Amino acid sequence: MTAQILNGTAAAATIKAELTVRVAALAERGIVPGLATVLVGADPGSQWYVAGKHRDCAEVGIASIKRELPESVTQEELEAVLAELNADPDCTGYIVQLPLPKHIDTDRILECIDPDKDADGLHPTNLGRLVLNANSEISSPLPCTPRGVIELVERNGLSWAGKHVVVVGRGVTVGRPIGPLLTRREFNATVTLTHTGTTDLGAELRRADVIVAAAGVAGIVRAEDVKPGAIVLDVGVSRTTDPETGKSRVVGDVDPSVAAVAAWVSPNPGGVGPMTRALLLKNVVEMAERASA
Ligand SMILES: Nc1nc2c(c(=O)[nH]1)N[C@@H](CN(C=O)c1ccc(C(=O)N[C@@H](CCC(=O)O)C(=O)O)cc1)CN2
């Protein structure tokens, strides 16, 4: 058996086409959504992700604003930039690219974002709304990667209802928020959150109908720990240098041998990454629609 592919590049293209129509409808009412990005430092990965966000905005008709700050920026200087964006009417939503340099207090930065402009859904108010809102439809921005994981599965005709989902990784962008989201009544999954400190990770994984691997540990999900027929989503990103070419490449959390056991796998690259980008755009469009309702 070889697993079927959860193709994030294709699903993201469909979402962008849908959003282009919604952005055009807003434009007819004189509303242009505007996404700002705040990039600190010169990490090549972060630069690449941010450049992709601006390309995506242009593709669907969202305006975009770039704020780039040196690695040496102080907490106060960075907070002042966020205050400017909070007050800027052309910026309807923004993100602060993570990770931030070690001398910056990331939690405090996330708290400085106006919750109504929080395109990543990572402000404590929006994470709180995610926890509180167990019954109703989406009414506040949600973290992009968990949303991307959910849509990738659903757009392939699969359902979350009744599934036992084992999440690996406890980071703020994926592992921590995905449980409260998937246990909403509309998805009805049962979720176990594991991490690198879990005593017997293999035993937890073998009970999973769906694995969401977001630990950032290359190959942490091995074929022998996957139930035959499971759905496996690879969110983890580690970089390795190819010894032959000397080029850097992305390695996921899921060992390639898992494809022989699972029913569905998301590739990495080409799976959840493009969905993260597409769902950021969806958050921006939804925020503009809500603000103008
Ligand atoms: N403020 C945020 N920071 C970070 C987030 C986030 O959601 N908000 N997530 C990641 C980075 N990220 C978006 O910001 C992101 C990561 C990966 C991809 C992607 O499309 N990856 C490609 C492969 C790219 C490669 O080869 O390097 C893929 O999976 O096909 C998009 C966005 C951390 N920071």
The structural domains of the chain, with segments of one domain joined by +, span 29-116, 143-272
Residue 137: predicted pLDDT = 64
173 lines ligand 1 (CB under 6 A): yes
Cα dist from 147 to 21, 30, 152, 182, whole Å: 20, 28, 9, 9
Peptide bond into 99 cis (omega under 30): yes
Pair type for strands 164-168 and 190-194: parallel
pLDDT of residue 138: 63
Ligand 1 mean position, distance from CA 283 (Å): 16
pLDDT-flagged residues of the chain (< 50): none
Give the CATH H-level superfamily of domain 29-116.
Leucine Dehydrogenase, chain A, domain 1 (3.40.50.10860)
Q: Quote the ligand 1 centre to 98 CA distance (angstroms).
A: 10
Active site residues: 53, 97, 120
- Fold classification of 143-272 is Rossmann fold (3.40.50)
Mutate to test the pocket of ligand 1, among 276, 279, 282, 284 (most ligand atoms within 8 A of CB): 276
CA–CA dist 275, 212 (Å, integer): 14
Output the residue whose Cα is nearest ligand 1's atom 33.
98
Q: Is 237 annotated as a binding residue?
A: yes
Tell me how far the alpha carbon of residue 148 lies from the centroid of ligand 1, in angstroms: 11
Cβ within 8 Å of residue 67, ≥6 positions away: 36, 37, 38, 39, 81, 85
**273 marked as binding residue:** no
Tell me if domain 29-116 and domain 143-272 are identical in fold. yes
Task: Find the helix or strand (DSSP H, E) in which 24 lies.
Answer: helix 8-28
Instruction: Measure the CA angle with vertex 9, ends 165 and 65; round to 5°.
Output: 105
User: Ligand 1: which residue has its CA nearest to atom 31?
Assistant: 273
Does any ligand 1 atom lie closer than 6 A to the CB of residue 273?
A: yes
